[in-house]
Amino acid sequence: MSSVTDEYVQSKDLWGKNQDAWEDINKSNLTDKELFEWQEVILGEFQEITSKESEQAEISRAVREAQLMAIVNNHKEIPHKAHREIVESILNDMFSMGPLESLWKNKEISDMQVFVPVNDPRDQIITYSSVSGRQIYKGPGFRDYSHAMTWLNRHLAQFGQHYDASKVAMDATFPGQERMNVISGVSGYSKFFHDESGIWVYKYVPCMVITMRRFTHAFSTDELTGVTDRLDESPIFPELQDVRRPYKRKPVFFKYTGKTIDPATMDYLKVMVELAKTHIIAGETGSGKTSLANALTGSIPDGTILIVLEESPEMQPQNNSHVIRIVQREGVFNLAQALKNTLRMYPDRLFVAEVRDTLAYVFLTAIQTGHSGSSTTIHANSCLDAVNVLINYAANHESHPPREMIRDIVFRQVHTIIHAKAVKKPNGIARMIDEVAQLLPDQTMHYVTKFHQVGVNKDGSVAGYFEFIGPTDEFVQEMFNAGIPIPESWGWEEGE
Q: For residue 193, give the nearest of 204, 180, 206, 208 by alpha carbon.
A: 204
pLDDT in tens, 440-474: 999 999 999 999 999 998 888 899 999 999 999 99
Task: Please tell me whether residue 37 adopts helix, strand or coil conformation.
Answer: helix
Task: Please tell me whether residue 431 adopts helix, strand or coil conformation.
Answer: strand
pLDDT exceeds cutoff 80 at 367:
yes
pLDDT in tens, 67-122: 888 888 888 888 888 888 888 878 777 777 888 888 888 888 888 999 999 887 67
Between the CA of residue 219 and those of 21, 215, 223, 417, what are the distances in Å?
A: 32, 10, 6, 41
Determine the pLDDT at residue 58.
65
pLDDT in tens, 28-66: 677 767 777 787 788 778 877 777 776 555 677 788 888
Whole-angstrom distance, CA of residue 348 vs CA of residue 113: 13
Determine the pLDDT at residue 462.
92
Average pLDDT on 341-348 reads 84
Determine the pLDDT at residue 227.
79
Whole-angstrom distance, CA of residue 367 vs CA of residue 406: 13
What's the pLDDT band for 200 if we cut at 50, 70, 90? confident
pLDDT exceeds cutoff 70 at 418:
yes
Whole-angstrom distance, CA of residue 360 vs CA of residue 386: 12
Whole-angstrom distance, CA of residue 356 vs CA of residue 332: 19
Task: Please tell me whether residue 488 adopts helix, strand or coil conformation.
Answer: helix
> Residue 367 in contact with residue 341, Cβ under 8 Å?
no
pTM tops 0.85, yes or no: no
pLDDT exceeds cutoff 70 at 329:
yes
Whole-angstrom distance, CA of residue 356 vs CA of residue 143: 41
Q: Where are the domains of the chain?
A: 1-95, 247-304+348-494
In the CATH scheme, what is the code of domain 247-304+348-494?
3.40.50.300
What does the angle CA 418 – CA 421 – CA 425 come to, to the nearest 5 degrees?
165
Which tops the pLDDT comparison, 93 or 433? 433
Whole-angstrom distance, CA of residue 235 vs CA of residue 240: 12
Average pLDDT on 370-387 reads 93
What's the pLDDT band for 486 if we cut at 50, 70, 90? very high
Average pLDDT on 406-435 reads 92
For 63-125, the DSSP string reads HHHHHHHHHHHT-TTS-HHHHHHHHHHHHHHHHS-GGGHHHHH-TT--EEEEEEESS-GGG-E
Burial per residue of 168-180, b for 16 or more beta-carbon CB atoms within 10 angstroms, e otherwise? bbbebeeeeeebb
> Residue 83 in contact with residue 69, Cβ under 8 Å?
yes
